[in-house]
């Protein structure tokens, strides 16, 4: 951030025990678990319903069936993660899966029921899983979970929700109101987070929100790509803020492209859930030929990276705009019961999926890397935690196994809240407050929209499903130029949500590209034509701000 902006104005500060940035499943889990003992503020930069959680269709993993086992789920996770999954993370999260689902049931989540199923739940199967272990609420699981937790949060006396507020940056030592003395340096660590600067979008005021603990639950970076299944909120805010504050990030090259996004001019970025293939949906060329057998013996149930690359290959081989996902053989009754949301969406666009196949293409879907954390959500900055898609816990490795994401949100969210409740209340030193008295209102917002469009197009064309060094280097060069333009703009004009999001997306784009350039092999979601082979042994890609010649995003 522009360090000339903060000044000392005590009337522009607020304090809470805990600030949670993000109102999706990860953030709400932490807030609800901590709120009985802490005063909590939750920030949502748009409407509460726009969190990525509400867009999740498939479900949440739970090892519930006696025929299933923790070891089996761990093995499936390790295999999908292509050698980069931290087994201890996979085991910890897997062994807490049944408790996570029970916790959601206790919060009032209405999963699809089956009287004969474990816990009375209907379990489905998705790509990469060896057993039926996905608890779901028809094909709108995320919305059912999100709605239930929002009700709990809104009615909790210790939780305050600030809608249409967006975080700008973390408050660290460089934002203290007075230089540290020798004695104070002994008491105040250089690696501590004291809160955040946040923009009240409706009033335009930037406020310093201080807290004993801050949780980043801001989701992924899907909006850095032209085509994505993610909502407008997925602009990598937490990852960018943590990076600027000095935290490490890991595995940012591994961006999961969901194989099946609805292809239609008016369809937006509508996801066609993995579960549709799990229940027997078939991928076909326009002439009706099934093609997955040419790419993997598991066919449509292969992990997402394999299916996405297969579709990408067929699109380019045949010069197609889309392929088809055919579920007509499942029958009308089955489709109406299990996939009502998809059926209604397709029908609204003139596609009756009970009688015709759905046109689909891959789209950016999930960020498998992010802020490096422990299994208690701890980051490199004391007082700063991170949970959910913004993080790199080691669970996802080089490719996320389907439906592990919601599980990670709950398990790590609960562990993070437990760790936070052990933190003692601390005195917050005087903080510099935001000063925009010397900047102007932007007269040409087209600069932001143009740079946003250019960034998303170049990331799609150069840093997509299949990569080359030349494409990555071209992308990096242009990202650096765009970053300088936005830095200059940020220094001279009042901040807006669009400007903050673009600034954060540029940081994340550069982290993705630099991570991709650092990996001299093809693995999981990262496929390079220059390095098509896979090493026998490989390691996570960890970037540290201090190691780069030019600190990204400053």
Report whether 402 contacts 59 (CB < 8 A). no
- How far apart are the C-alpha atoms of 537 and 391, rounded to whole Å? 23
What's the pTM? 0.89
Q: 153 burial class (0-12, 13-18, 19+ CB within 10 angstroms)?
A: buried
Where do the domains of the chain lie, and which CATH numbers do they carry?
15-253+368-422 (3.50.50.60), 257-365 (3.90.700.10)
Catalytic residues: 304
Q: Which two tokens stand for residue 525?
A: 């979601």
Give me the tens of pLDDT residue by residue for the chain, a chain 554 residues long: 344 455 434 346 788 999 999 999 999 999 999 999 999 999 999 998 888 888 887 899 999 999 999 999 999 999 999 999 999 999 999 999 999 999 999 999 999 999 988 999 999 888 789 999 999 998 889 999 999 999 999 999 999 999 999 999 999 988 887 655 545 555 554 579 999 999 999 998 899 999 999 999 999 999 999 888 888 899 999 999 999 999 999 999 999 998 899 998 887 778 898 889 989 999 999 999 999 999 999 999 887 778 988 998 898 899 998 999 999 999 999 999 999 999 999 999 999 999 999 999 999 999 999 999 999 999 999 999 999 999 999 999 999 998 999 999 999 999 999 999 998 777 888 888 887 767 777 666 778 889 999 999 999 889 999 999 999 999 999 999 999 999 988 888 889 999 999 999 999 999 999 999 999 999 999 999 999 999 999 999 999 997 775 567 66
Q: Helix, strand, or coil here: 284?
A: strand
Burial 187-219 (b: 16+ CB within 10 A, else e): ebeeebbbbbbbbebeeeebbbbbbbbbbbbbb
């Amino acid at each position: 951030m522009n360090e000339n902006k903060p000044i000392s104005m005590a009337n522009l500060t607020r304090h809470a025990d805990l600030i949670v940035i993000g109102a999706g499943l990860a953030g709400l889990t932490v807030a609800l678990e901590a709120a009985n003992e802490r005063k909590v503020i939750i920030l949502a930069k748009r409407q509460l319903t726009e969190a990525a959680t509400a867009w999740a269709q498939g479900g949440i993993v739970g090892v519930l069936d006696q025929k299933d086992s923790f070891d089996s789920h761990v093995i499936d996770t390790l295999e999908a993660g292509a050698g980069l999954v931290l087994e201890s993370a996979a085991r910890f999260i897997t062994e807490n899966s049944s408790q996570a689902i029970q916790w959601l049931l206790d919060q009032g989540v209405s999963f699809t029921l089956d009287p004969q199923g474990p816990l009375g739940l209907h379990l489905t199967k998705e790509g990469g899983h060896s057993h039926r272990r996905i608890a779901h609420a028809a094909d709108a699981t995320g919305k059912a979970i999100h709605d239930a937790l929002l009700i709990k949060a809104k009615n909790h006396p210790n939780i305050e929700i600030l809608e249409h507020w967006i975080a700008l940056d973390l408050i660290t030592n460089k934002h203290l109101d007075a230089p540290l003395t020798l004695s104070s340096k002994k008491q105040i660590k250089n690696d501590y987070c004291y809160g955040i600067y946040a923009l009240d979008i409706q009033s335009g005021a930037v406020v310093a929100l201080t807290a004993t603990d801050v949780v980043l639950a801001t989701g992924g970076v899907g909006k850095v790509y032209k085509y994505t299944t993610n909502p407008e909120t997925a602009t990598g805010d937490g990852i960018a803020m943590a990076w600027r504050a000095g935290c490490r990030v890991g595995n940012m090259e591994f961006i999961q492209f969901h194989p099946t996004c609805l292809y239609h001019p008016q369809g937006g970025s509508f996801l066609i859930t993995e579960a549709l293939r799990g229940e027997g949906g078939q991928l076909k060329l326009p002439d009706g030929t099934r093609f997955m057998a040419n790419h993997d013996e598991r066919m449509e149930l292969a992990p997402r990276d394999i299916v996405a690359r297969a579709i990408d290959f067929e699109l380019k081989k045949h010069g197609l705009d889309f392929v088809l996902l055919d579920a007509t053989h499942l029958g009308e009754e089955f489709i109406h019961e299990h996939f009502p949301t998809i059926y209604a969406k397709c029908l609204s666009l003139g596609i009756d999926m009970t009688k015709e196949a759905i046109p689909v293409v891959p789209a950016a879907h999930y960020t498998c890397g992010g802020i490096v954390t422990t299994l208690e959500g701890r980051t490199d900055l004391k007082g700063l935690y991170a949970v959910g898609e913004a993080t790199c816990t080691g669970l996802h490795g080089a490719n996320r196994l389907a439906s592990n994401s919601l599980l990670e949100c709950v398990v790590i969210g609960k562990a993070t809240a437990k760790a936070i409740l052990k933190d003692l209340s601390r005195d917050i030193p005087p903080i510099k407050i935001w000063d925009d008295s010397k900047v102007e209102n932007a007269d040409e917002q087209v600069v932001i929209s143009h740079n946003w469009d250019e960034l998303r197009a170049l990331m799609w064309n150069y840093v997509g499903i299949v990569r080359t060094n030349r494409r990555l280097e071209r992308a990096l060069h242009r990202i650096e130029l765009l970053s300088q333009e936005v830095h200059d703009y940020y220094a001279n004009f009042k901040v807006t949500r669009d400007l903050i999001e673009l600034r954060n997306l540029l940081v994340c784009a550069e982290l993705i590209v630099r991570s991709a350039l650092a990996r001299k092999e093809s693995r999981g979601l990262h496929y390079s034509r220059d390095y098509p082979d896979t090493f026998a042994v490989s390691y996570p890609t960890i970037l540290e701000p201090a190691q780069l010649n030019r600190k990204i995003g400053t």
